[in-house]
Structure 1
């Protein structure tokens, strides 16, 4: 379900907020820029009473903020001029008659009425019979104007913008997009929401997603950097966005509610988010890359193909202007996201390139291959800066950045040992467990203190990165685990298996 909101209504909410908080100059600038009037009053009964009692200074202040048809404004200003004339406030009456827009319109459209007002001002005495003909009186005229203006305005509760924002937060909490136990400050922003938990061993399953059909399963999973979404790429080419707290498909996204899912022609085997969580990149087994806007599900760019074989790993640079990719075709490439043009290709690996990362503020690239090598590349020249074989000739299946430690990363090999490496291509140490079978995948915790590695027998081992000690272990399932990913601020992990399940785990 989607709701369309007129842009003018949004501006009126902002205008009301500005005026309630005495930010008159800002409100006036916004009105002039947009030509939108707030067109609301706090109390219609008081407004009618002010007109009937002739409190014109108050009434005129109100109508400045209201969008009232010129015909009714002319009637109002005409009445005010007459009453000022009756009270012999001739200077004020002349100013209103000759220097206001409604009276200028009156002069253009109804010159005879305008001349009657000029004539009333020039007389030494005010005669009601001349100015209120046919049995009309001042009181009757006020009542007519009050009713006419009351029909043009609406009443709105005070602090409506803040109320709507609070309702929005409650709805997001109800949908599981925001934590229920987190206090959100509207004026301090999302930092209050993105409260990072202390790293703790994750071992308790709290929800499970089951893909329909016998042969359908997720090839890859990823959490968005803002922590609101879990995205899966499936073997049948579909890309789906989930509420990771409930394990339900996000139907508040219009395209998913209408079953217009993001999709590729073949299996989606890698995903990557931009830092702002707005763009999602997907890579498939036919060498294609697609860039999506997550909120709309629209594809903004396709690279068809980017590689001659399957795309195994993707990574946006910091400003999401480039997409880095690697492939079974032994190459690493950088493409421009907007133009779609190839920027640079890096060649030197002799087997599948399985994982790539940007390093050193996007000035170098780090790649890992089934040839057992981890290479660092100069992004400008394309030259190889270093080559290391962390564990003899064992294939390097995955590179994992470590949060809060930009100089180091972890290499995952087809063994029961992980490699801690730095960006200069130096092996710092190995982390592992001799009793474990070979690791197939791994992920690093949100604070960068723990690393979770899953073995061939689907046991997840948790290690302390600094000490290398085993923190704990848990069996995930009876089927083969394909991938694993961790939440950016919470002790939450998603693992996907070949039987079509996604297991969602948290700490005790």
Structure 2
């Protein structure tokens, strides 16, 4: 069933909005250009009562905003002129008679009535019988005018435009067509877009998501379109959140009905497709699932993707391939259409913690607990180079090197730049050949401001007994020289690398200089950071820890 809406009704809704917001010139222009009159009053009875009681100032103000027929306006203005004469307000009566459009119309079309008024105006006294011939009275004339004008106006509820828009939005919420608990761009008909910001460290914790301690998040990822935050927890649940409010996205029907996306055991890794339509999740039992994010439907299962936990997952640009790494020391590529293993990369001697495609998908970078990062040929599966990193440089042959925790590409960098985060005080920026371009670390510093490289050195919150207590969450601190890195992420434009430490601090390193820009406390005392996820456009970080908290940070 289709319902046709009259254009004039839409114009009247806009006119009412203009009137209620005192935009009277705009209202008048719209009425003139559209030839559609609003003709509404707050109360017909009140309008008629004003006429019957001769409250002409109120009546004239109301009538000025209405489109009344000339005949009825003439009757009204004639009556007001007569009553002004009766009150001997001759100057006002003369102005009304000679300077208003209805009286000019009367002069042109009914000259005898007009001359009668001019005659009464020239008299030195007011004769009621002459003013109201044929045994009529002032009260009867007022009543007749009130009845005639009441037929020209209607009453509508206030703020009809806003009420109708509100009803439409509520209906769309009820149908699951609009995201709940989030801002909405009414004009565009969509959630407001998040626009790219200049990179700046997000040091204000504006919200948090709380999990049961035994169900904490082990993985988190923002969608490439910046609309969603997804978490994977140790109890196997994959949940979609509004990252601004910290609430579940109930506009997703499956979440509103508690039909969650779920793995059989702990979720260790998550990744989106480039169009934000698909989500890949990897679990501790070696299984991988691919989901359609809007419906929660499982599009593809890889039940034997790995023999041990899946530490990282990612999708190729066209979403036809799934790249994964695992505790089983391997990196694998799986076909989305076939659901089968297509390639396997062997060479690491310990857990592979992270793997990623190069932008052109010809190479794969991996990071392992054997202390190396490797570059692989994606087609031939050959290892092109093995890089052992330690203490800010490539380690000499035979030397031990710390666990390489993660590897990722810097977004929007001039030339390809890869970040390798190691379980030490150092992170590394590499070029596509694996050469160290920049080493990122907190300076060993002797307290010299220059050595501190711009780090915020506000004092930590003091404790008792002369011993410095751990700072509160969000407090800026001077860096510790002993805290090893546990997780890392890049800022939206790749100007900063954010690294989390064992002690629960976040460090912002400036990529161009390699220097520590700022350090601040990110988790509560006693909690350990599990991982960090960065928003693709905004200066927003999600820091998830083993106490069941996902803290959300903004600049």
Same fold (TM over 0.5): yes
Question: What residue is the counterpart of 1:132 in the other structure?
Answer: none
Question: What residue is the counterpart of 2:547 in the other structure?
Answer: 499
Give the distance between the partners of 1:399 and 1:245, measured in 2 at CA.
27
Shift of residue 476 of structure 1? 1.2
Shift of residue 250 of structure 1? 0.9
Q: Report 1:22-421 matches (<5 A).
A: 40=4, 42=6, 175-176=181-182, 193-212=193-212, 214-391=213-390, 392=395, 393-405=401-413, 407-421=416-430
Shift of residue 400 of structure 1? 2.2
Residues 265-310 of structure 1 show CA distances to partners (whole Å, capped at 9, x for unaligned) of 1100000000000000000111000000000011011101200111
Shift of residue 390 of structure 1? 2.0
Residue pair 2:194, 2:538 contacting (<8 A) in 1 also: no
Residues 44-89 of structure 1 show CA distances to partners (whole Å, capped at 9, x for unaligned) of 99xxxxxxxxxxxxxxxxxxxxxxxxxxxxxxxxxxxxxxxxxxxx
State whether structure 2 residue 514 is matched by structure 1 residue 458: no
State whether structure 2 residue 416 is matched by structure 1 residue 426: no
Residue pair 2:287, 2:303 contacting (<8 A) in 1 also: yes
Q: Which runs of 5+ in 1 are unaligned?
A: 1-8, 10-37, 46-156
Residues 81-123 of structure 1 show CA distances to partners (whole Å, capped at 9, x for unaligned) of xxxxxxxxxxxxxxxxxxxxxxxxxxxxxxxxxxxxxxxxxxx
Residue pair 1:207, 1:246 contacting (<8 A) in 2 also: yes
Residue pair 1:436, 1:455 contacting (<8 A) in 2 also: no
Shift of residue 343 of structure 1? 1.2
Residue pair 2:218, 2:544 contacting (<8 A) in 1 also: yes
Shift of residue 203 of structure 1? 0.7
Residue pair 1:184, 1:193 contacting (<8 A) in 2 also: no
Residues 448-491 of structure 1 show CA distances to partners (whole Å, capped at 9, x for unaligned) of 10111111000111111111122211111221111111111111
Shift of residue 497 of structure 1? 0.7
Give the distance between the partners of 1:320 and 1:474, measured in 2 at CA.
37
Give the distance between the partners of 1:257 and 1:502, measured in 2 at CA.
21
Shift of residue 417 of structure 1? 0.6
Give the distance between the partners of 2:249 and 2:553, measured in 1 at CA.
19
Question: What residue is the counterpart of 2:520 in the other structure?
Answer: 474
Greater share of strand residues, 1 or 2? 1
TM-score (norm 2): 0.59
Looking at CA atoms only, which structure, 1 or 2, has the larger radius of gyration?
2
Secondary structure of 2:203 counterpart: strand
Question: What residue is the counterpart of 1:18 in the other structure?
Answer: none
Residue pair 2:367, 2:373 contacting (<8 A) in 1 also: yes
Q: CA RMSD in A?
A: 2.8
TM-score (norm 1): 0.64
Give the distance between the partners of 1:450 and 1:444, measured in 2 at CA.
6
Secondary structure of 1:453 counterpart: strand
Shift of residue 422 of structure 1? 1.6
State whether structure 2 residue 538 is matched by structure 1 residue 490: yes
Give the distance between the partners of 2:497 and 2:215, measured in 1 at CA.
28
Q: Which runs of 5+ in 2 are unaligned?
A: 10-160, 396-400, 445-480
Give the distance between the partners of 1:321 and 1:506, measured in 2 at CA.
34
Give the distance between the partners of 1:468 and 1:259, measured in 2 at CA.
46
Count of matched residue pairs: 349
Give the distance between the partners of 2:315 and 2:6, measured in 1 at CA.
50
Closer, same or farther: CA 44–501 of 1 in aligned 2, 3 Å: closer
Residue pair 1:312, 1:327 contacting (<8 A) in 2 also: yes
Closer, same or farther: CA 363–168 of 1 in aligned 2, 3 Å: farther
Shift of residue 383 of structure 1? 1.1
Closer, same or farther: CA 173–270 of 1 in aligned 2, 3 Å: closer
Residues 145-188 of structure 1 show CA distances to partners (whole Å, capped at 9, x for unaligned) of xxxxxxxxxxxx9xx99x9799979x96873266x7xx9767xx
Shift of residue 41 of structure 1? 6.8
Give the distance between the partners of 1:474 and 1:44, measured in 2 at CA.
59
Shift of residue 313 of structure 1? 0.5
Residue pair 2:323, 2:331 contacting (<8 A) in 1 also: yes
Shift of residue 231 of structure 1? 0.4
Residue pair 2:178, 2:251 contacting (<8 A) in 1 also: no
